[in-house]
Amino acid sequence: MQLIACPWCGPREETEFSFGGQAGVAYPEHPASLTDEQWAHFVFFRDNPKGPAAERWVHAAGCRRWFTAVRDTRTHRFLTTPELTS
């Protein structure tokens, strides 16, 4: 069981966290102006990289704060100290 460094609480066991998918997928500024295909890409499509991936995590059983972290999907290692999501 991995330790994940919560930026607020420090290293905690992974069972305290929930995964929130790919980071950096912003809610579109004007959804109404998007084509159906563009909207579908926002709602349903996410990258699935082999290697470093920027991800959103939440310390669900702790401080309940969201943060962004870069993790290597091949090794599960976190490559950066997580930052608070903005």
Contact set for another protein, span 30-59 (CB under 8 A)? 30-32, 34, 36, 39-40, 42-44, 56, 58
The identity of residue 79, as a single letter, is L
Query: What is the amino acid identity at position 47?
Result: D
Q: Does 22 bind another protein (CB under 8 A)?
A: no
Taking the C-alpha atoms of residue 80 and residue 40, their distance in angstroms, rounded to an integer, is 31
Cβ-based nearer residue to another protein, 29 or 48: 29
Contact 49, 73 (CB under 8 A): yes
Q: In terms of DSSP H, where are the helices of 1-86?
A: 36-44
Q: Provide the binding-site residues for another protein, judged by CB under 8 A.
A: 1-3, 20, 26-28, 30-32, 34, 36, 39-40, 42-44, 56, 58, 60, 64-66, 76, 85-86
